[in-house]
């Protein structure tokens, strides 16, 4: 079910506001065709570097992962999809769920790590018996490494200007 957006346009001659319907987004509907992203869901949050991923796990799915309205393969080209799907493969829930993810901040690699952690936490909330498999592969560990801040008087976080004797 598509949400219709209303676009307001001002008519300068009569000073009235005209309301028209914006064209529907057919591409996004096609990307999630056949995916059921309605009803009850389990939510979890994953973080990595400066990236945050809000994950929703929908039961009785087909294994579809949507990230910011796009399929995961389109949003994370290359090895990103394989890294995201690792918790599903380890627990054996490869085609049991649909995931809707909102990834914000950081870069693509940070978002991949955040999504993987969010998916792992959502699976853990759904199936506590999967904790051993997830924990053995370090999918429940939040990677706390952050970029160190730049200090005053230095070129970078630790790089000092070249020292000169005279």
Whether residue 20 is contained in a domain is answered as: no
pLDDT at 96: 85
Whether residue 82 is contained in a domain is answered as: yes
> In the block, which residue shows the tokens 């706390």?
144
Q: Which residues of the chain have pLDDT under 50?
A: 1-30
Whether residue 55 is contained in a domain is answered as: yes
pLDDT at 166: 85
Whether residue 5 is contained in a domain is answered as: no
Whether residue 143 is contained in a domain is answered as: no
CATH number of the domain within which 117 lies: 3.30.230.10
Whether residue 165 is contained in a domain is answered as: no
pLDDT at 38: 80
- Model confidence, pTM: 0.74
CA distance 105 to 17: 36
The SS3 assignment for 166 reads: coil
Whether residue 72 is contained in a domain is answered as: yes
| DSSP states along 121-164 | HHHHHH-GGGHHHHHHTT-S------PPPPPTTSSSSSPPPPP-
Domain that holds residue 78: 34-136
Into how many domains does the chain fold?
Answer: 1
Whether residue 119 is contained in a domain is answered as: yes
């Amino acid at each position: 079910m598509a949400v219709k957006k209303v676009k307001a346009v001002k008519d300068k001659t009569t000073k009235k506001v005209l309301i028209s319907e914006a064209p529907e987004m057919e591409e996004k509907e096609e990307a999630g065709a056949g995916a059921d992203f309605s009803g009850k869901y389990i939510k979890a949050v994953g973080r990595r570097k400066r990236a945050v991923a809000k994950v929703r796990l929908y039961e009785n799915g087909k294994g579809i992962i949507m990230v910011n309205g796009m399929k995961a393969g389109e949003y994370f080209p290359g090895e990103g999809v394989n890294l995201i799907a690792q918790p599903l493969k380890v627990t054996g829930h490869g085609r049991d769920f649909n995931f809707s993810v909102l990834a914000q901040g950081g870069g693509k690699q940070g978002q991949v790590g955040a999504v993987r952690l969010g998916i792992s936490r959502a699976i853990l909330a759904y199936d506590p018996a999967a904790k051993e498999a997830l924990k053995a592969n370090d999918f429940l560990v939040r990677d706390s490494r952050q970029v160190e801040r730049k200090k005053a008087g230095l070129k970078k976080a630790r790089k000092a200007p070249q020292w000169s004797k005279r």
